Amino acid sequence: MSEETVAVRALDGEEYLESLRDGRQVYFGGERVKDVANHPAFRNAARSIARLYDALHDPEMEEVLMKVDRWGIATHRFFAPAYSAQDLLEAKEAIAAWQRLSYGWMGRTPDYKASFMATLAADPEYYAPFGENARRWYREYASRVLFLNHVIVDPPVDRNRPHHEVRDVYVHVVKETGGGIYVTGAKQVATQSALTHASFVAANSGTAARFEEGKDEDFALVFLARMETPGQILFCRPSFELKAESPFDQPLSSRFDENDAVLVFDNAFIPWEDVLAYRDVQRAKQFYAASGFFNRFNFQATIRMAIKLDFMCGLLLKGLESNGTDGFRGVQVAAGELITLRNLFWALASAMALDPEPSLGGSVVPKLEYAAAARVYTNFSWDRVRQIFESLLGGSPIVTVSSYRDLMNPDLRPIIDRYLRGTGIPAEERIKLFKLVWDAVYSEFAGRHGLYELNYAGNNEQKYLDAFHWAHERGLADGFKALVDQCMSEYDLDGWKVPHWTWNRLGQ
């Protein structure tokens, strides 16, 4: 694509919805979806994303969300590389402003993949000999504020075998031509992919760690595939949005369901201009951390989780007030734990912005150690959130009605109003509140969120293994041990070896 064809402004909501009508191969319920923007399994989620795009053009939000980068491109603040702590602080506010529009319930919004795509501009030649591809993709991506999905995990099959022995499943190059490459294989989990503009395809740290030089070059790829790419097929999971009967009964799942999919390449053609790494085992192993992607995606995820915890704190407090238990000491203790957890994530997000480290091309990214900590604690904190809700609210979320229709029945309404009221609030308001609690904590939508929060940043062991290995690679482990060595060097069998302390020998 030439520079003349690159749009010079960010998409608005209507343009975004129209951009989804490109012939993509999305399958749901045994049929190919002709128009994802209007299909009942996706249409409200699509409009939740369209709302983000409209916000880019809202005079009241534009200053927080938008900036002009070093190349004169007007884009979302997190879509551009950061060159100072101030840049990261401003990006933090832009991410938070977008995330508040979905109350933290949509994690794979367009700013998620900005975690990586912004790094393309900082040092395109890091991707040599595909540096011009990186530069071109950044210009198109940033100027239009495109929405990319992200697939870096192999399907959970034959993981006990060497990578190159699973060519029937894992993504690999099958043919090279003058115009590009043909790839075949599957990746997961393509969250929100049906509503995106392109797929970013690579290997995560756990997968890349298994690559062997001389054997796995066909799998060592980093590329982008536009959603209309022939041979790119999405198989979607069931839609919680489709099952939602009304916003009163399913207020979150009816509009914020990020459908997950398995993405399959069936001899799909990828032009050379969309390739960033080709048959390069070392680059595939390094890009996850070296590119700055890891540091930045955990920055976005931490802010999103902080917004989600703001929401959950409010939801818990309102539930306790409705039950009349908000004044109990033990209840306040547990609610205080949730508030403290919320405070922790906001503090971590601020530290990630204010204490960055150098990255490609003179840019800065959140410090890797902070990002690794955020990766772990954002993942398992959600289980504790659910435990607090379950222990404090008990069976209250069950005490509702089957449907909004019960409240519209004139024979039932007086009985409901009397017996299902809350403390200081009428029955309709109490039921509305606890249906929101149910959708957030107990519904099928909520169950998927529990799985998402635990696994989206990597498998349980890999999170800790990465932190362990990076501590050794970056000299932190040596520093830890040196501190202990220093402590032990100050004494021996004869007593203190430094003059600061005295020693009373036994019997003296």
Asked whether residue 152 is marked as a ligand-binding residue, the answer is: yes
Q: Which alpha helices (H) appear in 204-323, and where do they start and end?
A: 205-209, 240-243, 281-290, 293-323
Amino acid identity, residue 225? Answer: A
Contacts of 330 by beta carbon, 8 Å cutoff, 6+ apart: none
Q: Report the residue count for the chain.
A: 508
Asked whether residue 197 is marked as a ligand-binding residue, the answer is: no
Q: CB–CB of 263/234 below 8 Å?
A: yes
Asked whether residue 303 is marked as a ligand-binding residue, the answer is: no
DSSP state of 507: T
Amino acid identity, residue 289? Answer: A
Nearest alpha-carbon partner for 428 in 256, 249, 255, 252 = 249
| 53-58-61 Cα angle (round to 5) | 95
State whether residue 51 is helix, strand or coil: helix
Which stretches does DSSP call E strand in 152-274? 172-176, 180-187, 198-201, 221-226, 232-236, 261-271
Strands 232-236 and 25-28: parallel
Cis omega (within 30 of 0) for bond into 189:
yes
> Which tokens in the block code for residue 90?
């401003």
- Other CB atoms within 10 Å distance of the CB of residue 326: 17
Q: Is 84 left (phi over 0), alpha (psi -120 to 50) or beta?
A: beta
Annotated binding-site members for FAD = 150-152, 191
Annotated binding-site members = 150-152, 191
